[in-house]
Amino acid sequence: MAASSRRASCVECRVDLQVGPQRPRHFGPSRPHPTAHVGRPLMTENKSSGAPLDTGIRNLLRIAVPISLGSLVQFLVVLTDNFFLSRAGELEINGAGNAGLIYLTFTMIVAGGSVGIQILVARFKGQNDPAQMAHAFRAGRMGLGALGLLLAIVVLGINALGGWKLLLQNPDVQAVFEPFLGVRAWGLIPFAVLMAVEADWIGQAKTRPILVLALLMAGTNMVLDAMWVEGWWGGSAMGAQGAAYASFTAECLGALFAWLWASRKTHPAAYMGRAERNRAMERQWWSLSAPVMAQFGMTIATWASFFFFVERVGMMELKVSHLTRNAFMLAFVICSGLGQTTRTVVSTLIGEGRSQELVPAILKLAALSYGGVWLLTHGYLFYPDWLASHFFEPSPGRDAMAATLGTAFVALQFYALSSILISVLQGSGYTKPVFLIEFISVGIYVVVAYAVTLVWTQPIDVIWRADWIYFICMIVGAAGALRVLPWRQGHPSLKEAESA
């Protein structure tokens, strides 16, 4: 992450150093001379955009830590939601939890759409081409906003027609599920704005605002949870519905903050001029993002189906699985930050023509991934009973939770490596092979999960071993692709965006 720019009374600009003819602009009037912006210190954020990317451990952490801390804050929000929902009752936490899985599936599709923005912005940053960086962000932002609106309409339409009932067996869980999702699905629209802006920040390696944004949203969500779920501080107690309204409000506030920060500080050039379409850039964004959208959506949809399988095993097993999912998300805090950092590092180094530095940087990122996962999840191996005791009284459920945490710990060792390998392929532009790897892996996973839940029903800790199979398949597939593909040169299709 580039160091945050400081406010100054004047702006020192280094511009218009070009080789060859100046590129034509694709939108808006020509930009004024940089000296015209004296007095607008927020415009200094891109001052060092031409500096080569530092791949030292300290700088890699400087990029990854704000992303991971932002994810950690969101993880704490999930725990807070579970705390209030569990106090409301088992039906509330199970109904809202299953609705949350549907919402998570569609948010991951949106998140997949943001990957194309990140890859393109990082590539053009490596080439020191701020004009193309602005085009990439603008094209991706418009596409992602339209996608968020479309997905919200789809989810709300299916919910209004009762289509999600087919996934649920317990009518009491259904009674919580449908109204919760009816509120929660509106969040897909502001979430799309959030993902577009965050992708631009990560692509530029300017990740510090992500932590500020996460703290703002988390604080809002926690306060509103207390007010609207249980009625603290004079609020109206609404149970599970209150949690849905709290999350939606926090997302709207976060989207507004992110939009204003990006337009005024981190990337104002992407908001200047008329919003004319750059079709070549839009095609490249879609080419990169569509496979990742399908990959992410398929992954989470498959994982969600696992919980619907478990619901047919029993309520205790479902509760253990939802709690284990949250424990799994603690590792996601690390792997998401380092995975996104890997995409930025790989794309930027290829853009800078420093392919010889790729492997050393990737090895550093893999080491950081394992170190972080062990730091945050070692308790699943060394003191799982103590962790389980916070959610269960002494009972078979507590024993099952402790055993399942041990199973999850093994799965996380595979996850720590697979997330880095997959991100390398994505950062180099090979998103379609990643989709194929995902397709094969989830196919095997679904067969195994179905067998151990509904055919030869096993204890919940054994059922969770299906995750071992999934992550091993991802590692084998990614390693094979890295061996046969010329990923160090980047995908050839990226040349279209470079000439846009």
Domain assignment present for residue 131? The answer is yes
Domain assignment present for residue 9? The answer is no
Q: For the purposes of burial, counting CB atoms within 10 Å of the CB of 408, is it exposed (0-12), middle (13-18) or buried (19 or more)?
A: buried
Distance CA(494)–CA(265), nearest Å, equals 28
Distance CA(138)–CA(178), nearest Å, equals 35
Distance CA(248)–CA(199), nearest Å, equals 21
Q: What is the pLDDT of residue 86?
A: 67
Domain assignment present for residue 8? The answer is no
Q: Which residues, in sequence order, are CB contacts of 225 under 8 Å at separation 6+?
A: 80, 81, 84, 242, 243, 246
Domain assignment present for residue 98? The answer is yes
Model-level pTM? 0.74
User: What are the C-alpha distances in Å from 393 to residues 47, 80, 435?
Assistant: 57, 19, 42
Q: Which residues, in sequence order, are CB contacts of 304 under 8 Å at separation 6+?
A: 98, 101, 102, 104, 105
Q: Which domain holds residue 215?
A: 53-498
Q: Enter the tokens of residue 307.
A: 């919980």
Domain assignment present for residue 99? The answer is yes
Residue 438 and residue 295 in contact, taking contact as beta carbons nearer than 8 Å: yes
In our burial notation (b when 16+ CB lie closer than 10 A, e otherwise), range 62-84 reads bbbbbbbbbbbbbbbbbebbbbb
Q: How far apart are the two ends of the chain, measured CA to CA in Å?
A: 27
Domain assignment present for residue 375? The answer is yes
Domain assignment present for residue 5? The answer is no
Q: What is the pLDDT of residue 214?
A: 86
- All residue ranges of the chain with pLDDT < 50 are 1-49
Domain assignment present for residue 231? The answer is yes
3-state secondary structure of 122: helix
* Number of domains the chain is built from: 1
The kind and range of the H/E element at 108 are: helix 90-126
